[in-house]
């Protein structure tokens, strides 16, 4: 019941955060326009800038001296952007509790030998139902006007999104959450390699050099990992690979003429991706764990922990991904990268403490080096 109350609190809090936008977004996510960054696989355009503090515009005054005119800009006291602070707060909180409840659901379902694919699949299904509800609810989000051709073009993104999610869930079920998070911090390395070898992008020498501490930190953290499992390492790396493909494909898709207008909002794009991902993962689940559905249902009936944590982790997963996009409207891509880095540190340490996972000094050092490398990678040009 405690987790259920937390889910209700998060939903209300997230809705309150969204209502703080100038236009009063009714369905958690206001209409995001502009371009710029790719957060959790969601592509946006190049206008996002600003910070936690904004200053109101002030009319300039003119000063005339000896025939010359000078413009003086009056200073004004800074105004705190409470909406942006709320976005960051609930994004961090929900990401933390998604990670924690996801691990608890996996543990209640038997860990890596239980039903990890079923858990991953049902999380996408529950998220899809929530996305459909936002379109159907009165005064909520306007549904997209996409065509069947648009949906077909979105399939590659859905495949990679489903793959990244499923492999992440497998990794967290097979080993320590903190270990999975450390390995997933190396995602920029996968994105850089794929970008240059497959998508024809150029990466500066400074960025390549910044990848050295990222990879080195992951190796150092793995060397003394008490909860190390090869399956956790391999599936986390596969999750990075899927996420890197997803990001690149997402950027290509958003260049399609008229698609952004037909989708309407970034929230709609995420909802469509979630629904298509559930459809994509369905045959994979049928081929791997559908035969164990009866056993899962029995476990689900008998385990309150599985019931509560499966539902809450699915809702938290959906909402924190949407809330993270709200920060793009008011911040720059660099600020977003820094925020992502800080978030990962909080999740690694916080979840490790709650779940009593190992926090060996060597592991912490490797984590610090790896996360620092990610921060450096996001800052250099």
Which band of pLDDT confidence, cut at 50, 70 and 90, is reported for residue 53?
very low
pLDDT at 52: 41
Q: What is the pLDDT of residues 104-158, one digit of tens each?
A: 999 999 988 899 999 999 999 999 999 999 999 887 788 999 999 999 999 999 9
Q: Where are the extended beta strands (E) located within the chain?
A: 38-39, 42-43, 53-54, 61-65, 68-72, 79-80
What region, left, alpha or beta, does residue 229 occupy, with left being phi > 0 and alpha being psi -120 to 50 degrees? beta
Q: Does 23 score more than 50 pLDDT? A: no
The SS3 of residue 65 is strand
The whole-chain average pLDDT of the chain stands at 76
Q: Does 335 score more than 80 pLDDT? A: no
Lowest mean per-residue pLDDT among 70-79, 153-162, 279-288, 349-358: 70-79
CA atoms of 16 and 265, how far apart (whole Å): 19
Strands 68-72 and 61-65: antiparallel
Rounded to 5 degrees, φ, ψ at 233 are: -65, -50
Q: Does 201 score more than 50 pLDDT? A: yes
CA atoms of 364 and 359, how far apart (whole Å): 6
pLDDT at 34: 42
Percent of the chain exceeding pLDDT 90 equals 30
Most confident of 143-147, 241-245, 255-259, 328-332: 143-147
Average pLDDT over residues 231-249: 86
Q: Does 98 score more than 90 pLDDT? A: yes
Average pLDDT over residues 243-256: 78
Contact 7, 320 (CB under 8 A): no
DSSP states of 126-148: HHHHHHHHHHHSTTSPPPP---H
CA atoms of 185 and 203, how far apart (whole Å): 18
Distance spanning both ends of the chain, measured CA to CA:
48
Lowest mean per-residue pLDDT among 37-41, 87-91, 225-229, 237-241: 37-41
CA atoms of 158 and 50, how far apart (whole Å): 31
Average pLDDT over residues 319-325: 80
User: Radius of gyration (Cα) for the chain, nearest Å?
Assistant: 22
Contact 76, 56 (CB under 8 A): yes
Q: Does 268 score more than 50 pLDDT? A: yes
CA nearest to 180, candidates 116, 110, 227, 245: 227
CA dihedral 124, 278, 296, 309 (to 10 degrees): 0
């Amino acid at each position: 019941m405690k987790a259920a109350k937390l889910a209700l609190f998060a939903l209300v809090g997230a809705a309150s955060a969204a209502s703080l936008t100038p236009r009063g977004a009714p369905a958690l996510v206001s209409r995001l326009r502009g371009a710029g960054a790719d957060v959790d696989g969601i592509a946006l355009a190049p206008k996002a800038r600003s910070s936690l503090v904004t200053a109101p515009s002030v009319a300039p005054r003119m000063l005339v001296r000896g025939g010359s005119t000078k413009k003086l800009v009056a200073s004004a006291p800074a105004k705190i952007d409470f909406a942006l602070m709320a976005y960051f707060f609930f994004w961090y909180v929900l990401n933390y509790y998604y990670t924690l409840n996801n691990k608890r659901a996996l543990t209640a379902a038997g860990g890596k030998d239980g039903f990890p694919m079923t858990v991953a699949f049902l999380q996408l299904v529950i998220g899809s139902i929530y996305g459909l509800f936002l379109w159907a609810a009165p005064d909520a989000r306007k549904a997209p006007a996409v065509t069947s051709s648009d949906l077909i073009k979105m399939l590659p993104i859905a495949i990679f999104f489903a793959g990244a999610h499923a492999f992440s869930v497998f990794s967290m079920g097979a080993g320590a959450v903190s270990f999975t998070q450390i390995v997933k911090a190396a995602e920029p390395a996968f994105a850089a390699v794929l970008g240059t070898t497959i998508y024809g992008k150029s990466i500066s020498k400074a960025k390549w050099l910044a990848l050295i501490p990222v990879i080195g930190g992951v190796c150092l953290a793995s060397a003394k990992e008490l909860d190390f499992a090869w399956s956790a390492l391999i599936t986390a790396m596969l999750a990075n690979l899927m996420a890197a493909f997803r990001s690149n494909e997402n950027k290509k898709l958003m260049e399609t003429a008229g698609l952004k207008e037909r989708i309407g909002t970034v929230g709609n794009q995420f909802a469509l991706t979630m629904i298509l991902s559930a459809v994509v993962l369905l045959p994979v689940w049928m081929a791997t764990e559908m035969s164990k559905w009866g056993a899962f249902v029995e476990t689900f009936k008998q385990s309150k922990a599985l019931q509560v944590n499966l539902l809450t982790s699915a809702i938290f997963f959906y909402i924190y991904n949407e809330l993270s996009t709200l920060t793009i409207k008011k911040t720059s891509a660099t600020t977003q990268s820094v925020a992502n880095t800080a978030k990962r540190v909080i999740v690694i340490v916080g979840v490790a403490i709650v779940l009593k996972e190992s926090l060996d000094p060597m592991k912490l050092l490797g984590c610090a080096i790896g996360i620092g490398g990610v921060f450096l990678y996001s800052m250099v040009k």
